Structure formats: structure tokens, C-alpha cells
Amino acid sequence: MILAHLPAGYLVGRAMPAAPWVIPAAVLGGILPDFDLLAFYLWDDRAFHHHRYWVHIPGFWVLVAAITAPFISRAWKLPWLAFLTAIFVHIALDSIVGGIVWFWPFSDTMYTLIEVSARHQNWLLNFILHWTFFALELPIIMTAFYLWWRRDR
């Protein structure tokens, strides 16, 4: 998934009961795993797949959820749930055409639903011109944009 993470986070926020900070928390959760691209490009010189950073590992977020759950106040339960749900939606969407280590810490194997073949030299074109972009990513973006556009009506 290239462009739909922020819109997908917005859709997670819209699907939850309306409450303060739910949508911002969901949007943040929708994009936060890709903050690892900073380390990927700036410090680690693309030495390994960025989906191997802890922010893209479901088992890490299960631990975070389990550890933080007892400390979340009633007022922050919904934003916390929106944030974590959007994180898992991000990771699930990444797993469609990119590898995710779903069974960490038991296995380091990356699982991908659909392999994108390298038809073009530019890796981005391989994803933008792949059918999954038009079948999954664009509908997410368009639905989120439509709901955002009509949010006060």
C-alpha cells in the first residue's frame, strides 16, 4: 500500500463511535508504521526491508496493547482503540502486496498475499500500475475523501 494509509486511518476513525480525538488517533495510527522509512533511508541505508522494523510487526503492537490497556483511562479508551485498530489495518493493508512478519516472535518469515512482479525499473511504478492499486487503494482513497468532504452534512 502506497497512498491509502492515511485515508484508511480516517475510515477507521469514521467507523468508530464519535468521540474527541478518535479520528486524529486513527489517522496517526494509520500512518505511524511508515515513520520507519526515516530510519530506513537516513540511518540504515536500506539494509533490510522496512517492514522488519518493530512498528510493522503485529506481535509488537499486541504487546503494546496488552501493556498499555490497564493504564488507559475511560476517556482515552476510544482514541487508544482507534489508534491500535488503525495500526493493525495499516499492517494488514501492507501485507496485501508487501511482506509482514505476522508470526513474530515465533517466526521471522514475511507473508505476502499477492506478489507484485518487477515489470518496471522504478519500484513505485510496479505498485502504482498494479491492479491492486486500482482495486483496493483507489477505492479506499475515494471513499475516505468522499466521507471527509461530506463530514458536516
CA distance 97 to 111: 9
Which one, 94 or 137, has the nearer CB to Zn ion? 94
Which one, 78 or 130, has the nearer CB to Zn ion? 130
Residues β-bridged to residue 111: 100
Contacts of 64 (CB under 8 A, 6+ apart): 84
Q: What is the DSSP letter of 72?
A: -
* Closest separation in Å from C-beta 48 to Zn ion: 14
Question: By CB under 5 A, is residue 29 in contact with Zn ion?
Answer: no
Kindly indicate which of the ranges 7-15, 31-39, 71-79, 128-136 contains the residues binding Zn ion, using the contact rule CB under 5 A: 31-39
* Closest separation in Å from C-beta 47 to Zn ion: 17
* Closest separation in Å from C-beta 91 to Zn ion: 7
CA distance 90 to 97: 12
Question: By CB under 5 A, is residue 33 in contact with Zn ion?
Answer: yes
Q: What is the DSSP letter of 111?
A: B
Site for Zn ion in 78-107 (CB under 5 A): 94
Please tell me the count of residues contacting Zn ion according to CB under 5 A: 3
Question: By CB under 5 A, is residue 137 in contact with Zn ion?
Answer: no
The conformational region for residue 121 under phi > 0 = left, psi -120 to 50 = alpha, else beta, is alpha
- Residues interacting with Zn ion, by CB under 5 A? 33-34, 94
